[in-house]
Structure 1
Amino acid sequence: MQIEKIKGHQTDQLFKAVLELKNLEECYKFFDDLCTMSEIQSLSQRFEVAHLLRLKKTYETIKNETGASTATISRVRRCFDYGNDTYDEMLGRLYPEEQPFDAARK
């Protein structure tokens, strides 16, 4: 786990603030103030790449649908393979009816 690399007071403060957000509108306002448009788009794109990987879409399809580079797609894929399983966990909460990325590897 690489979580230890990002742990600290500032990160704790940020994450606690995110956990205090009450609805989607508050999220939009908070992230609009916190991030540049490019940063928000990048985070959103990665999450959509994760969603499409979970649906077993090909790299080519993902690239065409999201505009993500193959490097970005590969990075997200590595998180599925070696990360903390949070993409799959969050997508499972958002889309409980969908089949997981690779149930056999868990």
Structure 2
Amino acid sequence: MSYKPKEVITMIKDYEENVRLYNRLVREQNEDREQIGVQASKFGIESTMPHANTISNPTQKAAERLLIKDGMIERTKKKIDFIDKRSKRIHKNQHIVTIALRTQGFTSAHIGRILD
């Protein structure tokens, strides 16, 4: 996928935040899927019927569907990968320092003071 220069600048600026967001979404998605099911005691004919092993949570399921359908996790991962792959092509020391500091969340003004 190709991005416009302004989009790339924004992705570099938001890199650290995108990494945290991606990791949080993936972690939450995995934790939600690993939840242990809780069952209530049933009496009479209901006690002999098969039971589900999970708690029904329509809000969680809707949110997961939206995240997957909307592609937020995938889009965030693509942005992170784009910056990671392109940053390996940088060879000048000043540019390497700039991209490293920028992706760690430092402002351009702060980086300018460091590099004079």
Alignment TM-score > 0.5, same fold: no
The TM-score by the shorter chain falls in which range? under 0.3
Q: Give the alignment's TM-score, normalised by structure 1.
A: 0.26
